[in-house]
Amino acid sequence: MLGKGLESLIPSSRSKPSSGAEAPPRTSKSSEAVFQIEVEKIKPNPHQPRKDFEKGGLEDLAHSIREVGFLQPLVVSKIERETEAGTEVEYHLIAGERRLLAARILGLERVPAIVRTINTEHERLQMAVIENLQRENLNPIEMARAFAKLQDEFSLTQREIATRLGKSRESIANSVRLLDLPVMIQEALIKNQITETHGRLLLAVTDAAAQERFFQDLIASRLTTRELKNRVRDPKWKKDTGEKDLPPELKDMEVKLSAALGAPVKISQSGETGKITITFYSPEELKNILEHLGGGEG
Give pLDDT tens digits for 99-151. 899 999 999 999 999 998 776 666 766 776 776 676 667 889 988 988 888 88
pLDDT of residue 40: 93
pLDDT of residue 111: 94
Give pLDDT tens digits for 52-75. 677 777 888 899 999 889 988 988
pLDDT of residue 19: 41
9 pLDDT more than 60: no
Q: With pLDDT > 70 as the criterion, what percentage of the chain qualifies? A: 77
| Range in 166-180, 188-202, 226-240 with the lowest mean pLDDT | 226-240
Domain 4-119 coded CATH 3.90.1530.10: yes
Q: What confidence category does residue 5 fall into, taking pLDDT thresholds of 50, 70 and 90?
A: very low
Q: Is this structure's pTM higher than 0.75?
A: no
pLDDT of residue 3: 36
Pairwise pLDDT comparison (298 vs 247), residue with the higher score: 247
CB 179 within 8 A of CB 152: no
51 pLDDT more than 70: no
Q: What confidence category does residue 13 fall into, taking pLDDT thresholds of 50, 70 and 90?
A: very low
Domain extent listing, the chain:
4-119, 181-243, 246-298
